[in-house]
Amino acid sequence: MEVLAALNLGDIAQIFSKMGMFPVFDLAYYIVSILYLKYEPGSVEVSRRSPVASWLCAMLYCFGSYILADIMLGHSPLDYFQHNSHILLASAVWYLIFYCPLNLFYKCVAFLPVKLVLVALKEVVRTRKIAAGVHHAHHAYHHGFFIMVIVGYVKGSGVALMSNFEQLLRGVWRPDTNEILNMSFPTKASLYGAILFTLQEAHILPVAKSTLILCFTLFMATSKVVMTARHSHGSPFALIESWDHHAAPTSPLKTKEELSEGTRKRKTKKAE
């Protein structure tokens, strides 16, 4: 019976890891990403003043991970832009989120139950990207374990790692912080994920890649859905980290990000 169960899990993982991402999962990824762009203060004004700058930012939000990974591996940063259908789909999402009459599309996708589904789908894409990034780097550098981790990391984190320069495109400059100095949960999870996938690729972690993809996707989707539902930025790692720092009481404290989370939406609504 147990063997059968294991076989079934393996089968499910196999099927799950072979599933195509385009267009459903990618669409969810684009919608959630550009939603986060609209949450950024000033981004609506930019979309009115300079549609080109706004479109470029949206492309960075959707394809930043591909651009960064291509740069890291010495390829053309525009390489992914040869997939016209992906670019057109992301452009359509950008148009609908920023310019749809009555702000209808934005209201639909920002409606919490819809958003929770989209957020879960986005994490499926993120995990796949990390696995693909590590695999791609492994193909180019067979024993370059550091390269595998870095490429997997940038594939998972995407635009967050270049947020300083993405903001600069919108005329905003905050040099006192960056995503590496103050890692958010998805960035940190991407780093751990990239390390896990690299260990798997190096045959140190004795587990099938499809199983790892399934498990990591479940962890990421659950975490992000719970965090989004609770409007929280406190990461699931906080428990372990606070224990590391001799039980510093980080959880009851509202961080700056959490406080701004509430006001963010009001501002976005006002900006419409």
Query: What residues make contact with a copy of itself under the rule CB under 8 A?
Result: 46, 49-50, 52-53, 56, 70-79, 81-82, 84, 87, 140-141, 143-147, 150-151, 164, 168-173, 175-178, 180-183, 191
Nearest distance, CB of residue 57 and a copy of itself, angstroms? 10
Alpha carbon distance 37, 140 (integer Å) = 33
Amino acid identity of residue 11, one-letter, is D
Q: Which is nearer to a copy of itself, 53 or 227 (CB)?
A: 53
Q: Which is nearer to a copy of itself, 213 or 234 (CB)?
A: 234
Nearest distance, CB of residue 73 and a copy of itself, angstroms? 5
Q: Which is nearer to a copy of itself, 116 or 202 (CB)?
A: 202
Neighbours of 210 (CB within 10 A): 19
CA 241 to chain CA centroid, nearest Å: 22
Q: Which is nearer to a copy of itself, 111 or 146 (CB)?
A: 146
Question: What's the sign of the alpha-carbon dihedral 197, 30, 111, 48?
Answer: positive
Q: Can you tell me which residue has the tokens 């702000």?
A: 103
Nearest distance, CB of residue 253 and a copy of itself, angstroms? 16
Alpha carbon distance 55, 61 (integer Å) = 10
Q: Can you tell me which residue has the tokens 């890692």?
A: 183
Nearest distance, CB of residue 132 and a copy of itself, angstroms? 17
Q: Which is nearer to a copy of itself, 116 or 179 (CB)?
A: 179
Alpha carbon distance 119, 31 (integer Å) = 9
Cis-peptide, bond into residue 23, ω within 30° of zero: yes
Residue 111 DSSP one-character state: S
Alpha carbon distance 61, 152 (integer Å) = 17
Nearest distance, CB of residue 225 and a copy of itself, angstroms? 26
Alpha carbon distance 112, 118 (integer Å) = 10
Q: Which is nearer to a copy of itself, 82 or 270 (CB)?
A: 82
Nearest distance, CB of residue 14 and a copy of itself, angstroms? 31
Locate 49 and state its tokens. Answer: 């003043």
